[in-house]
Copies of this chain bind each other. A is one copy, B any other.
């Protein structure tokens, strides 16, 4: 897998020439700029990656003829659809890299046609070259209509994340586009300039060449060209300085999340210059290790780019779904911003919010769910979930808001967010132990975990409380989800839980809600809970005898009460699917793995495909009804300023549409097949026509890793891989066992095109891609990871 990223060589300046339209004079501008830069550099390179005209008219030839001192090159002479974007990107990268020697030079890279003219593969010029993200000069359109086409072309470049350093165009006096455009871009602090147009074509081609030569020489000496050249060169230097100083400036100005700042210094901060697809484009002190070939002549030595692609292995804190810098999401965001901006949501409705709510209700396929509440992030959304649950219980059981202590039932190592309410819903831990206002308000159970260890899938009891104290092994991961065949386990879990909860009920513990992260407990350490145990816990919670019962209030203690089984019983069941939902584990709903219908579900992270903060808390009608009365103070008096902001809702709609298409198409079939060994049909025992268990990481790889000596256990599900390393000092969250692996992968090896940026949780190293990451990329990662672990 060849990964080409954004490049920045200190001594090789690269400028990409885009045209607002065809025929606007890109080649003439390139020629003039080449000449202007010749005064400043010994070597000036002109590169036309793809030229589509006949050979004798090809832009690079034209240029070579006109000036012998410019090294001109064309890589592909015809726009053959067989040239993939990746071929061309790699060829341009290699070509540019070969220039990055010596004392200093410049390369002008000319595109073909207009900004969005088709590349050989059919994608656009701007999309083809986006991974390199070279600084751009846009040659504006001096023709009739050129004001509009120039501004639109500039906007198309901006949407795709380009830095447009300048807009240059011919000063065509009839249309005078240049006067308008210079003002327009000046208002937007974008450099713009105009040049006199070239002379009319002379019928005699040799005389024409002489005329043009004169024109080029004159133009290259113009003040406007000098000004642009100086500005561009100085911007290049400033960009490098800024990149290099960003980490130390961050140390000055930023309070980073989740960090002990005594461990922070400029060298521990990664500067992210941009990102595309699965990769960050980073600058760190690590990335400065030379990656070029050694050469005897130091002048001939290839200078490394100070940017390095780094696979975003934490999926940017588990949010990334559709690739960084996705132009479809960018345009969707811009459309919503242009149509609405933000519009307040109290007593109001707009299309994106309504559509998103309806989509969630439909696709979660849970008949209990009825109403969607919007917030801005998972923590706020879980605060809402907690408020919904405990109030519904308080209303039904007649608890006094002031006097009764209402608790949460949950699992140990759960994590629901960083605001005080969600912290209180989690057990005491390193995350909250120093927080003066933290009050653990709950009862948290040990639970059996799923892991692969030494090539075998195992369900291991955790803690002494759980019924069957010995680990069970399973042939296939699928089998663990085959609840039909695990009726003995279910019985044992049920008996244990019933007994345990009966004791709590006798002690009159008031539970306002059961809160679970279905399948995988994320921030608590990437723990894979036995889904059967979670399912049994839901059943036990729904049979819990909360007291006292409010006199005269209908009693619901089992799920077979009124409302067609849609009413909650015992206590509301809340599923925190912020991390696990929306395809992260391969399915829209993580609850579906348990074949359980929760009463409240929270979603975030992947909701916007990895672009923007947005969270939904979806509740059942019976929970909703607890807040309805004639008294305003009975309402859920909660709401954030940007509740249901149209930009977020629109991006979420688009993301769910795209991920739904991936889910329904062949996109993920390759992954599914990786997990369908003999008998691993992956579908048979999954209820409700859900696909079986699969991961982007191959089962073969997971097995191989599980045999490494440093590895305690490993699992993979959906896009998630988690490797639990042996923790010699047993420090849990404070453990540094996984740090070494993380650091090794970030530094990478000599000569590698890209590195891996990852995060750890104590002794657990984990990785996940976007939902669009290709198997080829995952395979390359598997190789790196396998090699990095002993």
Contact = CB atoms under 8 A, between A and B. Distances in A.
A317 B344 contact: yes
Contact of A316 (B149, B329, B343, B432): B343
A64 B317 CA distance: 62
Interface string A354-395: 100110010000000011111111111001001100110010
B260 A629 contact: yes
Given A149-B21, A354-B254, A380 B341 contact: no
Contacts of A249: 349, 354, 358
A329 B347 contact: no
Contacts of A438: 401
A377 B378 contact: no
A575 interface: no
B380 A148 contact: no
Interface string A44-60: 00000000000000000
A679 interface: no
Interface stretch (A115-123, A447-455, A692-700, A722-730): A115-123
Given A115-B152, A254-B354, 12 more contacts: A22-B144, A114-B148, A253-B358, A255-B617, A274-B340, A275-B339, A330-B338, A341-B610, A342-B610, A342-B611, A377-B642, A387-B437
Interface stretch (A32-40, A158-166, A226-234): A158-166
Given A161-B338, A338-B330, A434-B633, A378 B641 contact: yes
A532 interface: no
B262 A629 contact: yes
Given A115-B148, A118-B147, A371-B253, A329 B312 contact: no
A399 B436 CA distance: 8
A326 B115 CA distance: 24
A642 B257 contact: no
Contact of A391 (B159, B316, B435): B435
B630 A262 contact: yes
Given A320-B342, A341-B325, A343-B272, A390 B436 contact: yes
Contacts of A122: 180
A319 B337 contact: no
A628 B261 CA distance: 6
A132 B80 CA distance: 45
A640 B379 contact: yes
A641 B608 CA distance: 12
A404 interface: yes
Interface string A300-312: 0000000000001
Given A117-B145, A342-B320, A635-B258, A386 B437 contact: yes
A242 interface: yes
Contacts of A324: 340-343
A337 B330 contact: yes
A195 interface: no
Q: Chain A: interface residue count, which band?
A: 35 or more
Interface string A319-333: 110011111111101
Interface stretch (A208-216, A413-421, A461-469, A487-495): A413-421
A512 interface: yes
Nearest to A619: B255
Interface string A408-442: 00000000011111101000001111111110010
A535 interface: no
Contacts of A162: 338-339
Interface stretch (A263-271, A500-508, A703-711): A263-271
B161 A312 contact: no
Contacts of A280: 343
A10 interface: no
B346 A257 contact: yes
Interface in A148-173: 148-149, 151-153, 155-156, 158-162
Contact of A642 (B114, B255, B341, B612): B612
A350 B254 CA distance: 11
A151 to B, nearest CB: 5
Nearest to A153: B152
A383 B420 contact: yes
B156 A430 contact: no
A185 interface: no
Contact of A435 (B326, B387, B417, B419): B387
Nearest to A357: B253
Contact of A628 (B260, B343, B635): B260
A76 interface: no
Contacts of A273: 350-351
A254 B372 contact: yes
A275 to B, nearest CB: 5
Contacts of A612: 342, 612, 642, 645, 647-648
Interface string A614-631: 000101000010011111
A626 to B, nearest CB: 11
A247 B349 contact: yes
A292 to B, nearest CB: 26
B435 A337 contact: no
A784 to B, nearest CB: 19
Residue among A260, A263, A324 with the most chain B CB within 10 A?
A260
A158 B331 contact: yes
Contacts of A351: 242, 246, 273
Given A259-B346, A394-B436, A632-B260, A149 B147 contact: no
A280 B345 CA distance: 12
A338 B325 contact: yes
Contacts of A100: none
Given A161-B338, A343-B280, A346-B256, A262 B641 contact: no
11 contacts: A22-B144, A117-B145, A155-B331, A274-B339, A320-B341, A325-B341, A342-B610, A379-B419, A391-B435, A394-B436, A430-B637
A237 to B, nearest CB: 16
A641 B613 contact: yes
Contacts of A253: 354, 357-358, 361, 370-372
Contacts of A334: 158-159, 330-331, 333-334, 337
A331 B334 CA distance: 6
A319 B642 contact: yes
A236 interface: no
A488 to B, nearest CB: 39
A556 interface: no
Interface in A702-739: 733-734
A309 to B, nearest CB: 13
A759 interface: yes
Contact of A161 (B335, B347, B611): B335
Contact of A353 (B254, B341, B436, B636): B254
Nearest to A322: B341
B255 A636 contact: yes
A640 B628 contact: no
